[in-house]
Structure 1
């Protein structure tokens, strides 16, 4: 396994923001596109329970870490993920207003998460590393591919970009803990494929559930547009495939993709997170 390559100037700390998006989530908020809206909503449904497990996975090793900087970043990671979980729980609850069967979709995912939670701590941490890699690469796509957020309101952009920035900021925390305490490359790569399958499986199932509610599950035009968005042009997932697969390299480290510039640019854009600088967001 590779040594810690996290830049010394990366400091993970929680930002206590709240987003009021109830009205937005009553609409097809992603440019009035039913597939894009459902796809992003489908990812959100996985975040609250997923992030609680990520916190547990890292916390299980915290008392064995001696690196003071990593300990600080673990604390920040736990804080950030806790706030993400809270805001996406509110987000998911607001989705009920469109008639989505949120209880069914949440129970389906929670059954899977209960199984994952029963694994030994090394495997849970390996799964967290893989999931954090996925969210960091998706964050890169959101920030670097203009079409990923094309037509999205300022309010929804504020939430998704905040989440993306913090996923980039803390992308190496679980990985550095894994290297320090486990260091099993074979386990890391095998579990990457398992996590990849389940991430796409539940995103697909949730997307289908919401398209069914919208009366678009069997609409070929909807699916064609969605596949173009993900795999054709602009191909948000297609363009990110080399970055997803970089995780399989034996010498991989999340900060081999150095995108600190996004963090710094976002801080300037949001004026150091003044409550008035983020649309429909305020300090907790």
Structure 2
């Protein structure tokens, strides 16, 4: 199977495949030496809108890991604890993989560090641990942050499912190594899509916490993404500030299959708010595992032992 071809979903029942999953971190090896600055040819706006992932994910996923480590003592279910530990291992590797792309951008003359410093401040100072809290308030603070992560993980799973099923990127001849990163990461996001949600329900089964998590995280993600796209287009040394992202341009690009459509993204967020919602209703574990078994980066890491 060509490495740029989305993996078809397999026929096994989704619930049975999901229940049998054992989450584990997977070594990967990406070679960025040949990655062009605009890795979707002649599409700098689409390239940089997706590149916002690399700005947000290293600091964001390190924050996920920290919060989930703080939540471990609160978990009373051994299977959920094992899933959380697997989630922590996968997210740590994701952060490092995207950090490599940031380092490559810097080598190409696009400096992501000013924006990344702002993201770091947000996760470490605004959303970080609050010293001096009582035991009860500290527990509430951890659960509140888990609710934010559960909402964010809903969108990362949505994006992962889109990446696995995005032939528009192949038609546009997107760089195959970047496609592999997006699909490898996306497949793992689909694979562990229910862990943060299940942890939230374990710690607080009430609906209001879930609602509040989405009402905070959804608009914040949109804000950070728009600012990130603007920053990258302004900092791109080949564009000299000529291009600015607009919603009209985003809609045009999404119609070509290079981005998820805004309408589909909004509908995804609304599904999360349904009282009977569970993340296993989104994406395909079989498809995710199928891609993870064929990912060139995973095979390259295995070959180097």
Aligned residue for 2:168? Answer: 147
Partner Cα separation in structure 1 for residue 214 and residue 183 of structure 2: 25
Aligned residue for 1:137? Answer: 158
**Could you give the per-residue CA deviations for residues 125-152 of structure 1, whole angstroms, max 9, x where no partner exists?**
1111011111000111111232145421
1:173 aligns with 2:182: no
| Deviation (angstroms), 1:99 | 2.6
Q: 1:22·1:91 contact (CA, 8 Å) conserved in 2?
A: no
Equivalent in 123, 137, 161 of residue 144 of structure 2: 123
Which stretch shifts more, 264-273 or 189-198? 264-273
Map 1:1-284; keep pairs closer than 5 Å: 7-24=18-35, 26-113=36-123, 114-118=125-129, 120-149=141-170, 150-214=172-236, 215=239, 217-219=241-243, 224-230=248-254, 232-234=255-257, 236-237=260-261, 238-270=263-295, 273-275=298-300
Q: Matched residue of 2:277: which SS?
A: coil
Q: 1:35·1:222 contact (CA, 8 Å) conserved in 2?
A: no
Partner Cα separation in structure 2 for residue 125 and residue 138 of structure 1: 20
Partner Cα separation in structure 2 for residue 204 and residue 276 of structure 1: 34
Partner Cα separation in structure 1 for residue 55 and residue 245 of structure 2: 25
Q: 1:208·1:217 contact (CA, 8 Å) conserved in 2?
A: no
Residues 272/28 of structure 1: CA separation in 2 closer, same or farther (3 Å cut): closer
Which stretch shifts more, 187-196 or 170-179? 187-196
Partner Cα separation in structure 2 for residue 192 and residue 22 of structure 1: 38
Stretches of structure 1 that go unaligned for 5 or more consecutive residues are none
Residues 216/56 of structure 1: CA separation in 2 closer, same or farther (3 Å cut): same
Partner Cα separation in structure 2 for residue 140 and residue 95 of structure 1: 26
| Deviation (angstroms), 1:225 | 4.1
Stretches of structure 2 that go unaligned for 5 or more consecutive residues are 1-14, 131-140
| Deviation (angstroms), 1:217 | 4.7
Partner Cα separation in structure 2 for residue 276 and residue 172 of structure 1: 27
Partner Cα separation in structure 2 for residue 242 and residue 157 of structure 1: 25
4+ aligned runs moved over 6 Å, structure 1: 220-223
| Deviation (angstroms), 1:258 | 4.9
- Count of residues in correspondence between the two structures: 274
| Deviation (angstroms), 1:59 | 1.8
Q: TM-score, normalised by structure 2?
A: 0.81
